[in-house]
Amino acid sequence: MSSTARISALLCACLFALTACGDGSAQKNARSADQGADGYPVTVTSCGKDAEVGAPPQRAVSLDQGSTEILLSLGLADRMVGTGTWTDPVLKNLAKDNAKVERLADRYPSLEKVLSKEPDFVSASFLYTVGKGGVADRAKFDELGVPVYVSPTDCAGKDNDGGGDGKRVKTLTMDTVYGEVRDLAKVFHVEKRGEKLIADLKRRVGAATKSIDDSAASGTKLMYWFANSDAPYLAGCCGAPGIITRELGAKNVFDDTREEWPQINWETVADRDPDVLVIGDLTRKSQSAESAAAKIKFLESNPATKNLTAVKKKRYVLLSGQAMNPTIRTVDGIEQVAAGLRKFGLVK
């Protein structure tokens, strides 16, 4: 997209508060003019919509931490001009590159802020981020000629129409995460880097689970608590925690629900009595009991939870919020839960 087109898009957005801006033909024409680079245009299907890129992006904005960490892992910091929607500190091995990219907001940046960076590509991990209540609807970006890619982990085999965090119609696997890596590598024409990243992730999964005998872990009951002590968000069967559980041959005590993060009362938790509690150690402050320390304090003092097997034996595995989301950090989750099960003597 030319500088003139980008400025036109930005002026339109600012002039009438993002409600309308002609038909976006100038931006789309500019995008067409950029086409013709070797191997381009490239089109990737993104949660039911095509994202067409006319040339390797040079001014990308990533709007969720999961997406950001994939781009940084692909060595694309020099082609990123902004990030937003953070829940945890960045991965340590990515901190140096991440420091080179402007953080537009800790939560959702305004559309004006995003457009001020003149993006030629936008990526997100969740449909909500580029929907009502997030930064802006994908239709607005399309109107301005900015291609948007949303992670397939938030829509493939998932029903997001029922409210909450959605429901898994099909069980999520790491293949969908690997597919996201491949899509983004294709968009930026760094396919070899993408395959190298995927190979490394697979190697790590194999190493973490190599000595675990499924039969040894099959009776171990896990529960994943993301946030909120009043009405806790606990993992259902088939999202990222499901990937972790299946890789380790264990059992999620709430594998009888396909909701992503159903809110379940503590009395029901007591009935299921998990052997190990996998606890989200969050740095945000939007819900009650966000940090692991706050969660553990609650568990050990609340009458409904203090007698749980996992609490009495202090079997806690602490994960970042991102490790509980379906992204490359799910592999961190596999490694950390595997290490916890070994530490507790539940597997070899």
Q: For residue 25, what are the contacts with CB-CB under 8 A and spacing of at least 6?
A: none
Give the confidence band of 33 by pLDDT, cuts at 50, 70, 90: very low
90-148 pLDDT tens trace: 999 999 999 999 999 998 999 999 999 999 999 999 999 999 889 999 999 999 999 99
> Where do the domains of the chain lie?
3-199, 212-343
Common-topology check for domains 3-199 and 212-343: yes
Handedness of CA 197, 252, 221, 289 (dihedral sign): positive
Inter-residue contact 180 to 307 (CB < 8 Å): no
| Residue whose C-alpha is closest to residue 326's, from 231, 210, 232, 236 | 236
Q: Phi and psi dihedrals of 77, rounded to 5?
A: -55, -35
* Domain range 212-343, its CATH number among 3.40.50.300, 3.40.50.1980, 3.40.50.1820, 3.30.160.20: 3.40.50.1980
Stated pTM of the model = 0.87
Q: Which CATH number fits domain 3-199: 3.40.50.970, 3.40.50.2300, 3.40.50.1980, 3.30.530.20?
A: 3.40.50.1980
Helix (H) or strand (E) holding 174: helix 174-187
Helices (H) and strands (E) in the chain, counts: 14, 14
Range of lowest pLDDT (97-111, 112-126, 167-181, 205-219): 205-219
Q: In sequence order, what DSSP letters do the residues of 67-126 get, joined into one string?
A: HHHHHHHTT-GGGEEEEE---SPPPGGGHHHHTTS-EEESSPPPHHHHHTT--SEEEES-
Residue 320 CA to residue 226 CA, distance in Å, equals 9
Q: Is 225 helix (H, G, I), strand (E, B) or coil?
A: strand
Dump pLDDT digits (tens) for 45-100.
Answer: 989 999 999 999 999 999 999 999 999 999 999 999 999 999 899 999 999 999 99
